Amino acid sequence: MTIIDFISQPWHWAVSGFVIALLSIIMTLLGERFGISGFYNAICSAAGAGNRIQLFDKDYTQEIWRFCFIIGAMVGGYVAMHYLSSDAPVQISERTINHLQNWGVSYPDDVQQNPGFVPTELFNFSSIKGILLALAGGICIGFGARYGEGCTSGHAINGLSHLQLPSLLAVIGFFIGGLVMTHLFMPWIFG
């Protein structure tokens, strides 16, 4: 087995969990907070939005590491998608596959049919429904991350590890929102 074969095979979830925990510990020791949604503030500050909106009136030069992290994530995602991807479709539970098939969403037989994590039958830009879902989802995620002062992973991983009550409340809200979406809105949208 070559190193490329080893890297491109599916890894156990604990590997990424360990790396995220290690990064969180290192960032805490350096006096920083590991998170992505703060990049929005940094990019708006760099673009000059701080001249009009107090929220963005910050010294973005202290966030250079975050710019490098985001660029690295984009480059890494590109390399992983184009050079290290597996031919196998994403492995999800049989129960989820059956549930999606009841909504008319089929599970792909290979990566050429569906190269991502979301069903392209639903989330694509060739239909009005796909465009509206992408726009509504993007707006909700972007607004929620800013309004909640952090994204779901930022609150759940970093905030809870620092024992912050606002993060605990945010995570409880995420779970409630996920349950409401799964049991009320998704059957209405897709069913």
Written as one string, the DSSP assignment of 79-134 is HHHHHS--SSPP---HHHHHHHHHTT-PPPSSTTT--SSS-TTTS-SSSHHHHHHH
pLDDT of residue 88: 65
pTM confidence score = 0.66
pLDDT digits (tens, 9 = 90+) for 128-148: 877 888 888 888 877 777 777
- Whether 151 and 173 have beta carbons less than 8 Å apart is answered as no
Q: How far is CA 96 from CA 35, 91, 102, in A?
A: 30, 10, 10
pLDDT digits (tens, 9 = 90+) for 167-181: 899 889 889 988 998
Secondary structure (H, E, C), 131-173: HHHHHHHHHHHHHHHHHCCCCHHHHHHHHHHCCCHHHHHHHHH
142: Cβ contacts below 8 Å, ≥ 6 apart: 40
Tokens linked to 35? 């998170």
3-17, 25-39, 115-129, 164-178: segment of lowest average pLDDT: 115-129
3-class secondary structure, 191:
coil
Helix axes 64-83, 38-46, angle to 10 degrees: 110
pLDDT digits (tens, 9 = 90+) for 30-60: 887 777 777 777 888 888 888 888 877 888 7
What's at 121, amino acid-wise?
A: E
Average pLDDT over the chain, rounded to an integer: 80
Tokens linked to 4? 């490329």
Q: Give the residue from 179, 155, 180, 158 showing the smallest Cα distance to 168.
A: 155
Tokens linked to 53? 């909106």
pLDDT of residue 119: 65
